[in-house]
Structure 1
Amino acid sequence: MNLLTGAESTALFGGEISPSIRHLVDRARQAPREEAAAILWPACVSAPQSLPVYYLLYKLHAGLGELDQAEQAASKGLAAAARAAGLPTDWHAVQPGQADFAAPGAARFWLFTLKALAFVQLRRGERGIAQALVEQLARLDPGDQVGASVVRALLAESGPSSLGLKRG
């Protein structure tokens, strides 16, 4: 099961997590939000291929406003998903057709995490990086299956002083 939605983890992330990692995730879910990251980061170290843990980490940190940590978790999750999907580790180098981004699994998680990274970059005030990520998402997902249009709209509507963004 997906750790947050109840949907099958296989459909969203390309596979179930091991029982030992599930135990850590269950502990993190029961811990206060401020303490959950201290449980989840070691899970990433012990099972770097476990994509759901990266998802939980970047969602947790973003929700707490810890944007540097959210960026770190999303970047690590993006790299892990790229390895699992056979994609280049540099997101700039990924081309349409290199993977089936619509099918459940690592490639779809990679695309979804690219969107999360765009959102985190926008919130961090890194408008140029967010714009480049959104443009890559449009190339790879022209049907907007992962919902990058939400980030694109925020980017278009927000000024440098919106969303806590810095100027530049």
Structure 2
Amino acid sequence: MNLITGIESTDLFGGEVPAGVLQLIERTRRGSDDDVAAALWTAILSYPRCLPPYYLLYKFHANRGELGEAHRVATRALAVAAWEASISGDWCAVQPGDADFSIPGPPRFWLFTLKALAFISVRRGERALALKLIAKLRWLDPIDCIGFEVVEALLAQSEHGNRKLTN
């Protein structure tokens, strides 16, 4: 299923993706890595409140191992989603009752992006930050609708690997 145009898109982002964004995303399917990044940045700059291009761009960078850039884009996505969801721009200050994180739309995307930041933090070796992000996810999403347990497992696996290296 196509995350941008299918059921998952509605479940995560909460609505239709503008035609101009879809055209730019279509360019990414047949372009070089530089073309992909340029098309996604064009989408973000042209439609700064549209959330899917942020997701695609931070995922693109994370998949390439460009974790600093993935972190920067995800942080920007979190800020835009917070604005769209009318919640605090400081993720530490967000409370469970600030938004309904269980329904499609900016609050759910915000929560999903918080999970992405936790994942990126694990991959960057930022254990303390990853633990804080996971604790926030657990508090805001106690039944784990967005699947943060995968990030917890990755964190545990990386911790186990680090123990082997030091023994």
CA contact (8 A) 1:59 1:70 kept: yes
Aligned length: 162
Q: Which amino acid aligns with 1:52?
A: P
The CA RMSD measured in Å over matched residues stands at 1.9
Give the TM-score taking structure 2 as reference length.
Answer: 0.89
In structure 2, runs of 5+ residues without a counterpart are 163-167
Q: Aligned with 1:143: secondary structure? A: coil
Identify the residue that residue 133 of structure 1 maps to in structure 2: 133
Q: Which moved more, 1:121-130 or 1:151-160?
A: 151-160
Unaligned runs of 5+ in 1: 163-168
Q: Which moved more, 1:126-135 or 1:10-19?
A: 10-19
Asked if the contact 1:125–1:160 (Cα under 8 Å) also holds between the matched residues in 2, the reply is no
**5 Å matches for 1:144-159?**
144-159=144-159
Matches within 5 A, 1:1-168: 2-4=2-4, 6-7=6-7, 9-159=9-159
- Which amino acid is the alignment partner of residue 25 of structure 2? V
Tell me the distance in 1 between the aligned counterparts of 2:156 and 2:98.
Answer: 29
* 2:4–2:52 contact (8 Å) kept in structure 1: no
Compute the TM-score of the two structures, normalised by the length of structure 1: 0.88
The aligned amino acid for 1:79 is A
CA distance in 2, matches of 1:2, 1:105: 17
Amino acid at match of 1:80: V
